[in-house]
Structure formats: structure tokens, C-alpha cells
Structure 1
Amino acid sequence: MNEENSATRYLKDFSAGWFGGIVQVLVGQPFDTVKVRMQSNPDLYPSTMSCIKNTFKNEGALAFYKGSSTPLIGIGACVSIQFGALEAMKRVFGGKDLTLSQLYVAGGISGLSNSIASTPVEHIRIRLQVQAKNSELYRGSIDAIQKIYKSHGFNGLYKGHCITMIREFFGYGIYFAAYEKIINRFIKFYNVNSRTDLSSWQVILAGGTSGVILWTFLYPVDLIKSCIQTDGFGKNAKYSSSLNCFSTIVKQGGYSALYRGFVPCILRAFPVNAMTFMAFEFAMNIMGRL
């Protein structure tokens, strides 16, 4: 692959990933808001329906899209990095007929690369999502970034970075390995030449299933991340570390508490990830795969 084609390929990978990320936010933000509120405040939101009713009654329908301006830009960038890094790693490993372990490592590295952007993006989004009406500390994404940076610097913006890296590496290793394996099975089973010949329902099924697998295994890690990122700073922090957060949650609510908010998450998992991969594959097909 010459330099021009290589640059074009990277641009297409990242552009298609960005498109997939925007679709992901538009479809998944309401589910994510319910999930985060249940994770961070179980006393106020003990169930999925109580969270939905309480939020809608007190704050209106737009409350489910709180903090969405940051993700529309940031998650677009994050998913762009994920897919761009994934496609690059697949080429490093040879591009075709990769083993499950190679796909896992490629996905893990893509997630790790993504964590540089996803930590501050998700941190700001989560803090905006949990704000109740009439008690809002931050007026919006920019205001939150400015206040947190002014008080706590880059370390404040990157609160929860270690647990995010753990989630991203192991989570996206599983996520992309599952997706690629399912897609490859479809290609062989239906005897088509490449993924461009697969139908929409096959891409939707592969993407949605990979999302369900991801969140089923990694949900407790995500819960700990949310608790850390909605916690106070410095002396006002409830948790001294991710391990302390884990032990505190288990001590207070048992191991089942690690799946608090799982219902809206798993309801979100299939449609959001199905549409994310559908958008990515659609964009790649429109631009033309190299």
C-alpha cells in the first residue's frame, strides 16, 4: 500500500468511525442517562421505571439527553479512534483470517487508544447526566470542563482514567473479537466474497450481539467507573480508589449491586451497537473500501 492509499485508508476508517459514534449517541443517550443515574444514586433511583418516571416528571423529556453535546463531538471522536485503531491493528496482523486472540488484542489496543479521549468525555457527560433540576453545578459541557480544570487541573478531567483503561482494553477486546468472528462466520456460511456482500440484518445482528456480550461481561467495571467519576474530588471523595469503590459497593449491597442499572444498559446494548456498526459499515461502503 503506497503512502497516498495508506493516508486515504486511515481517513476513511476514522471518518466512518465518527459517523458510527454520532449514531451511537443519538440512539443510546437516553438509555445511558438512566443507567448512570441508577449506578450513582440507587437510593433515589431504585429501578429502571422509577428512574424514567422520576426524571420525566421532574425534568422533562430533554433531561434524558443531558450532557449530549459533549458526546456528539467526543464520542464521535472516541468511536473514530476505536475503529481507526482496530482497522490499523488488523492490517498489522495481516488483515484476513485473523485468529480470535489476534482480534482480541487488536480490539484491546483500539480500546486502550480510545481511553485517552473517552475518559474526559465520559467524565463530563456523566457529571452532567446526574445533575438534578434546580441543583445544577455545571451549566453545560464547557462550563464543567472549565470549572473542573480550574479547581483540579488535568488530573480532575482524567478522574477515573485507570479504571477506564481497564474497561476499554478488556471490553473492546471482547467487543471487536465477537463482531469480527460473527461477520466472518456469516461470510463463510452464506458463501459471499466479503462483508460488503452481507445484508443489513446480518450486520445488525453481529453488531447488536457483540454489544450484548460486551456489556454482560464488563458491566461491573463500568459501574465502578461511573461511581468514581461522579464522586467528589480530593478530601470530598467517598472512594479512595477503584478497588475501594468495588469493596464498598459489595459490602453495602452484595455482589448483585455490581449490576445496578444493568437493565437499561442491556436494553440499550443491542440497538445502539447494531446501529453503530451499521453506520460504520454503511459509511465504509459509501466511501469505498481500499
Structure 2
Amino acid sequence: MAAQLSVQPSVTNVNPRKHITPQWVSLVSGGIAGGVEAAVTYPFEYSKTRLQLIQHGSTTKTNPLRLIAEVARQEGPRSLYTGCTTLIVGTAGKAAVRFVSYDTIRNALSDEHGKLSAGGGILAGMAAGAVESVLAVTPTERIKTALIDDAKTHRQFNSGIHAARVLVQRHGLPELYRGLVSTTVKQSATSAVRMGTYNILKEMSKQQGLSPNALTSFGTGALAGIVTVYATQPFDTIKTRAQSVQGAGIVDAVSSVMRDYGIKGFWKGSSMRLGRLFLSGGIVFSVYEQVSAMLAPVVRD
């Protein structure tokens, strides 16, 4: 009687390993995305900062669009880009740091399929915001805010480099880190909400069967930007007051906002920040996703 042979089918692992984004890809993609976003949306940032620096009783226009028109008419269109170079360099740097930090933490917290929970996305975003605040955001925001504040008075600064040199000569290197605490709080909150919301919306779009492309990335990032504005605007207002030319501590910055405008003053400039973060959210995430895809296409193991 012929021996019966039992043939067992070979078992293979049908689940692909999760895709890990290389850190150099996050660095380059984030830097490019940040630079593009800053260059396109800077007039919104300029007008928002000017509005937040207006003191009670000033005759300066408080409507954002009228402020832009007034500044362009009286000081020339180029004045709307005062401090722009500093912000572009700073934004490119902070976006690079943010995405490297975020992707590193995301890679560690995501499951075997590469899925990141809502809480994990918020945590990764918060940590990334804190890192970028210390390494990139605070110094560049200090210089940018000082330049914009200076431009509305007697103009003692000629450029971002000149402003940095004067501030350091007068008060020492720590002057560039004035407002570090308020900036870190603002940046951590902003990054947590922005990156966390983007992660949630991205996972939802996958569940709905939407194919990832530049359009869906832009839309998801834009919606994340809207949520971020209203959730974190008070932190941004306090940070701006703390980093004016004269500078102020957190308590003084909060007190000055309350004194000038009351509770609603903490959301001053939100309409222009909304315009900026709506565009920037769409731009930075869509550019980041597209550049990342070109530099490191998904490899299935």
C-alpha cells in the first residue's frame, strides 16, 4: 500500500511590515515643505503679528485686510515681507525638526501595520513641538517679531542678522530665547493639535477608501489648520507680546492683553492666522507627503 504523503501548504507572512520613514527623508521633506509654506503665507503672518502688537487706543487699522492695504499703501508692498527671510529660514528649520521628531516618535508608537492611534498622534505632535521650539522656533520668532514691531516705529534694525546682532550685544545671547516658555507651550499645543488632527483625519480618509494624493493631503492639512487656530490662538498671542522689541514675561504679556482688550484679546489676529494656517496646513502636508513619496517610495518587504 502506497504511503500517503501529507503535503502541508507553506505558510507565509501575508502582513507587510510597517513602513518606516527614514530620518533623512523627514528632514529634507519637512525643510522643503516649511520653506514653501512660509514664502506663500507670510503676508498673513505679518498682519497677524502687527495686530497683536497694537496697543489700546492706537489709530492703526485693526481689520486684517485693511491693515494689509494700509501698510502696502503707506510703506510699500515690500514692507509686508519684513522679516520674511528670517521666517522662511526658521520655518524650514522648524518644519524639518518637527517632522524628524514626529516621524521618529510615530515609528516607535505605531502598530505592526503602521497605524498610529489618536492619542499617539497627539503625543508625538506635542513632543515634536517642544523639540522644534528649543532648536529652531524661539530664536527665529524672536527676531521676526522684533523686526515687525520695530518696523512700525523708528526702524533701528536693518535686517534679521542685524537685529540678532543688536539684541545679543545689548542683552546677551539669552535675549534670542526671550519668550522660550511661552513659545514652547504654544508650539507644543499647536503641534499636538495640528499633527494629532491630521493623523486622525488621515486615518479616517483611509477608512473611507480615499486614495492618498496631493489633493486629499491638502484638504486634510487645511482642516487640521482650522482646528489648530481656534484651539491654540491664546498661546500665540501671549508668545507675540512676550517677544516684542521691549519683551515681557508671561505674566506681563497676559496682563497686557487683558488690560488692552479683555478675554477676547487672546484671540486677536485669529482671522489672519486662520487664513495662514488653512493655507499652510494644506501646503506643508501636501508638499511633505509628495516630496517624501519621491525620496522614499513605500517598499513592501
Common fold: TM-score over 0.5 = yes
Residue among 107, 114, 117 paired with 1:99: 117
1:39 and 1:226 in contact (8 A); partners too: yes
Between 1:25-34 and 1:41-50, the stretch displaced more is 41-50
| Distance (Å, rounded) in 1 between the aligned partners of 2:153 and 2:176 | 24
| Distance (Å, rounded) in 1 between the aligned partners of 2:52 and 2:153 | 21
Q: Which position in structure 2 is the counterpart of 1:52? A: 68
| Distance (Å, rounded) in 2 between the aligned partners of 1:176 and 1:217 | 13
Q: Which amino acid aligns with 1:263?
A: S
Q: Which position in structure 2 is the counterpart of 1:176? A: 195
Between 1:165-174 and 1:81-90, the stretch displaced more is 165-174
| Distance (Å, rounded) in 1 between the aligned partners of 2:255 and 2:149 | 23
Q: Which position in structure 1 is the counterpart of 2:145? A: 126
Over aligned residues, Cα RMSD in angstroms? 1.9
Higher-Rg structure is 2
| Distance (Å, rounded) in 2 between the aligned partners of 1:179 and 1:51 | 31
| Distance (Å, rounded) in 2 between the aligned partners of 1:132 and 1:74 | 19
Q: Which position in structure 1 is the counterpart of 2:103? A: 87
2:97 and 2:132 in contact (8 A); partners too: yes
| Distance (Å, rounded) in 1 between the aligned partners of 2:151 and 2:255 | 27
| Distance (Å, rounded) in 2 between the aligned partners of 1:178 and 1:13 | 19
Which structure 2 residues correspond to residues 20-35 of structure 1 after superposition, within 5 A? 20-35=33-48
| Distance (Å, rounded) in 1 between the aligned partners of 2:153 and 2:189 | 38
The yes-or-no answer on 1:259 pairing with 2:267 is yes
Deviation at 1:244, TM superposition (A): 2.9
Residue among 138, 152, 156 paired with 2:157: 138
Q: Which amino acid aligns with 2:143?
A: I
| Structure 2 unmatched runs, 5+ | 1-18
| Distance (Å, rounded) in 1 between the aligned partners of 2:110 and 2:82 | 42
The yes-or-no answer on 1:205 pairing with 2:213 is no
Q: Which amino acid aligns with 1:190?
A: G
2:215 and 2:286 in contact (8 A); partners too: no
Q: Which amino acid aligns with 1:181?
A: I
| Structure 1 unmatched runs, 5+ | 192-196, 234-238
1:17 and 1:83 in contact (8 A); partners too: yes
Q: Which amino acid aligns with 1:229?
A: Q
| Distance (Å, rounded) in 2 between the aligned partners of 1:94 and 1:30 | 37
The Cα offsets for residues 58-89 of structure 1, whole Å up to 9 and x where unpaired, read as 11111111111112222101000001100000
| TM-score (structure 1 length as normaliser) | 0.89
1:119 and 1:161 in contact (8 A); partners too: yes
The Cα offsets for residues 181-202 of structure 1, whole Å up to 9 and x where unpaired, read as 11111112116xxxxx413221
| Distance (Å, rounded) in 1 between the aligned partners of 2:275 and 2:92 | 21
Q: Which amino acid aligns with 1:31?
A: F
Q: Which position in structure 2 is the counterpart of 1:250? A: 258
Deviation at 1:54, TM superposition (A): 1.9
Between 1:149-158 and 1:48-57, the stretch displaced more is 48-57
Between 1:78-87 and 1:264-273, the stretch displaced more is 264-273
| Distance (Å, rounded) in 1 between the aligned partners of 2:189 and 2:151 | 33
Residue among 231, 240, 247 paired with 1:226: 240
2:98 and 2:129 in contact (8 A); partners too: yes
| Distance (Å, rounded) in 2 between the aligned partners of 1:59 and 1:14 | 37
| Distance (Å, rounded) in 2 between the aligned partners of 1:181 and 1:57 | 43
Q: Which amino acid aligns with 2:236?
A: D
| Aligned pairs, number | 274
Between 1:35-44 and 1:104-113, the stretch displaced more is 35-44
Deviation at 1:104, TM superposition (A): 0.7
